[in-house]
């Protein structure tokens, strides 16, 4: 098995073993691509939400937050284009009976071509050593050029066929490239057909009068339809933003890679309403702002890159993804879209209500343009979790697994660990716990050896362990162990609140943005 797969398997089992993520409905054999967050996962997720919410709503006096309902009037999804166009091209393998996204099969084929190009580059880098000029090699080596040209031709043909809804050509492309079912090798494919990703449900008591509804596939529409309510009640002037965190649902054809692609997930979206003609400037600003927000987490600038979209969605006049280096390669983490006035205009048309803004400076009414930032909370969780999980070999040759989460996001900020429960050490520990619990999420543990307890806290990413011994009872000092350096120092109990706060406060992240 490839090493990358081993790393990913270990991550999934670590997430389960330490109470971060469980497969949903596990005692009934689970539900595909649905997950539950355990006691530590829920804390980490809440902290990520707080980091986003504070950065958006607290730090910007022209951005306000809302919480709209999951169920919305069904016409909203007609207006937004989701009923007609929120489709993925689906293909089945007749032998394995497995279902795939046709575009993903083709993209995976191209990713393999890129891997081959990268191997050529790596081989040459080894061969030429310091004299290697990567740029020149990429631009002149016939094999690299051929692999890249082939990818370009394939992807542009696929984009054109999807644009024209020519699904027969998408199938022809799969056959010409001899793409096989990755698990079985079979090339026996059905035709490609479109599949709408929205989940349907019903509202109402009796079957004949019930209304068909959809579970929302994005939170953004709840913001658009509340645009005027919020603008009027908050008395905001353009440019201003509305932020929201909430669940979204998509009946993904292929939901793989753990919490990367789920059928029930959470989004953190912000719609920034701006005067027409200014949107592309704000789009560039938000691209930069959002990247800085990610970089402040300290996961390494080399793990992020922008991917500017060539093929734009029906509502956009510019779009880019922030991609992150997940254990399975660079993939989309966040989307930044200049959505024009598409959504508000469509809702005006379908609802018959005006959704306009009176601009006193321009002395005119208009439908605002929108720049959207949209990040998947679960995907961000996976990015942070995978980047933080490390196996370390220590100086004495022993090993430890540590989750070096940004301290402000850690589920537990400090663990109170009396060396033993008896002799009053337990009581003393409980006193410290009861004093600090109003400020921080803490844990108290008095079972197992201190070494084992340290390892358990390392594995859930607790920044500090506070050990209480017999001296503590007389001199009111404790041993404070740092998760990352494993250094231990003697500190006064009276200083604990300040020390923990200095390391774990959200200020540390927010001030870097």
- Residues at the annotated binding site for substrate? 101, 218, 265-269, 372-376
Site string for ligand GAP, 202-231 (x = CB under 6 A): ----------------x-x-----------
Chain mean position to CA 342:
26
- Burial of 187: CB neighbours in 10 Å, binned 0-12, 13-18, 19+: middle
Tell the smallest beta-carbon distance from residue 370 to ligand GAP (Å).
Answer: 10
Rounded CA separation 383/375 (Å): 12
Q: Which helix (H) or strand (E) is 384 found in, with range?
A: helix 377-388
Reference 346, options 370, 362, 320; nearest CA is 370
Considering the complex, state which of residue 335 and residue 429 has its C-beta at the smaller distance from ligand GAP: 335
The values of phi and psi at residue 464, to 5°, are: -130, 140
- Can you give 221-284 as a three-state secondary structure string? HHHHCCHHHHHHHHCCCCCEEEEEEEEEECCCCCCCCHHHCCCEEEEEEEEEEECCCCHHHHHH
Q: Pairing state of beta strands 329-340 and 357-359?
A: unpaired
Question: Hey, which residues between 231 and 250 contact ligand GAP (CB under 6 A)?
Answer: 250
Tell the smallest beta-carbon distance from residue 382 to ligand GAP (Å).
Answer: 9
- Of 176-184, 186-194, 293-301, 368-376, the segment contacting ligand GAP by CB under 6 A is 368-376
Q: Does 103 bind ligand GAP (CB under 6 A)?
A: no
CB neighbourhood size of 498 (10 A): 10
Q: Count the site residues for ligand GAP by CB under 6 A.
A: 19
Helix (H, G, I), strand (E, B) or coil at 304: strand
Helix (H, G, I), strand (E, B) or coil at 269: strand
Rounded to the nearest 10 degrees, the angle between the axes of helix 102-128 and helix 167-176 is: 40
- Of 12-20, 87-95, 149-157, 372-380, the segment contacting ligand GAP by CB under 6 A is 372-380
Tokens read off for 456: 């358990």
Which residue in the set 92, 269, 343, 458 belongs to the binding site for ligand GAP (CB under 6 A)? Answer: 269
- Of 223-231, 376-384, 387-395, 481-489, the segment contacting ligand GAP by CB under 6 A is 376-384
Question: Hey, which residues between 317 and 346 contact ligand GAP (CB under 6 A)?
Answer: 332-335
- Of 24-32, 201-209, 260-268, 452-460, the segment contacting ligand GAP by CB under 6 A is 260-268
Rounded CA separation 332/32 (Å): 21
Which residue in the set 376, 411, 418, 429 belongs to the binding site for ligand GAP (CB under 6 A)? Answer: 376
Considering the complex, state which of residue 252 and residue 284 has its C-beta at the smaller distance from ligand GAP: 252
Tokens read off for 342: 């598409």
HSE of 439 in the Cβ direction (CA atoms, 13 Å)?
15
Q: Does 88 bind ligand GAP (CB under 6 A)?
A: no
Which residue in the set 265, 324, 381, 385 belongs to the binding site for ligand GAP (CB under 6 A)? Answer: 265
Considering the complex, state which of residue 68 and residue 462 has its C-beta at the smaller distance from ligand GAP: 68
Tell the smallest beta-carbon distance from residue 343 to ligand GAP (Å).
Answer: 10
| Residues of the shown chain interacting with ligand GAP in the complex, contacts defined by CB under 6 A | 218, 220, 250, 252, 261-262, 265, 267, 269, 332-335, 372, 374-376, 378-379
């Amino acid at each position: 098995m490839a090493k990358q797969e081993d790393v990913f398997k270990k991550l999934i089992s670590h997430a389960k073993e330490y109470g971060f993520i469980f497969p949903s409905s596990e005692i009934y054999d689970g539900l595909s691509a649905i997950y539950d967050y355990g006691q530590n996962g829920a804390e980490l997720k809440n902290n990520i939400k707080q980091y986003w919410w504070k950065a958006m709503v607290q730090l910007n006096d022209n951005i306000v937050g809302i919480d709209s309902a999951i169920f919305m009037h069904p016409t909203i999804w007609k207006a937004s284009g989701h009923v007609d166009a929120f489709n993925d091209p689906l293909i089945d393998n007749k032998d394995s009976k497995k279902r795939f996204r046709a575009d993903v099969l083709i993209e995976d084929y191209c990713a393999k071509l890129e891997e081959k190009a990268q191997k050529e580059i790596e081989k040459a880098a080894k061969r030429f050593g310091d004299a290697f000029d990567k740029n020149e090699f990429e631009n002149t080596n016939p094999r690299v050029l051929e692999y890249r040209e082939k990818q370009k031709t394939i992807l542009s043909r696929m984009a054109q066929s999807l644009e024209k809804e020519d699904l027969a050509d998408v199938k022809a492309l799969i056959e010409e490239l001899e793409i096989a079912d990755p698990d079985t090798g079979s090339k026996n494919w059905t035709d490609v057909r479109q599949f709408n990703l929205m989940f349907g449900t019903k509202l109402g008591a009796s079957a004949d009068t019930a209304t068909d509804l959809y579970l929302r596939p994005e939170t953004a529409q709840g913001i658009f339809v509340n645009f005027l309510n919020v603008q009027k009640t908050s008395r905001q002037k353009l440019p201003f933003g509305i932020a929201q965190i909430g669940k979204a649902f998509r009946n993904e054809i292929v939901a793989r890679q753990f919490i990367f692609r789920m059928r029930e997930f959470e989004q953190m979206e912000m719609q920034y309403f701006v005067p027409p003609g200014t949107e592309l400037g704000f789009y560039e600003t938000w691209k930069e702002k959002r990247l800085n927000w990610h970089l402040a987490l300290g996961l390494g600038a080399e793990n992020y890159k922008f991917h500017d979209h060539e093929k734009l969605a029906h509502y956009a006049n510019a779009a880019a993804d922030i991609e992150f280096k997940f254990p399975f390669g660079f993939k989309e983490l966040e989307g930044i879209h200049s959505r024009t006035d598409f959504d508000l205009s469509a809702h005006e048309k379908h609802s018959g209500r005006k959704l306009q803004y009176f601009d006193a400076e321009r002395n005119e009414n208009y439908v605002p343009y929108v720049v959207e930032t949209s990040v998947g909370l679960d995907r961000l969780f996976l990015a942070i979790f995978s980047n933080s999980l490390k196996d370390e070999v220590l100086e004495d040759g022993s090993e430890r697994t540590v989750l070096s989460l940004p301290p402000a996001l850690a589920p537990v900020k400090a663990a109170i660990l009396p060396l033993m429960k008896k002799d009053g050490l337990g009581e003393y520990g409980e006193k410290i716990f009861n004093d600090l619990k109003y400020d921080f999420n803490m844990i108290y543990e008095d079972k197992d050896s201190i070494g084992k307890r340290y390892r358990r806290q390392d594995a859930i990413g607790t920044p500090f362990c506070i050990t209480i011994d017999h001296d503590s009872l007389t001199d009111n000092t404790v041993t404070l162990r740092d998760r990352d350096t494993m250094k231990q120092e003697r500190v006064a109990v009276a200083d604990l609140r300040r020390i923990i706060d200095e390391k774990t406060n959200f200020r540390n992240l927010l001030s870097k943005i």
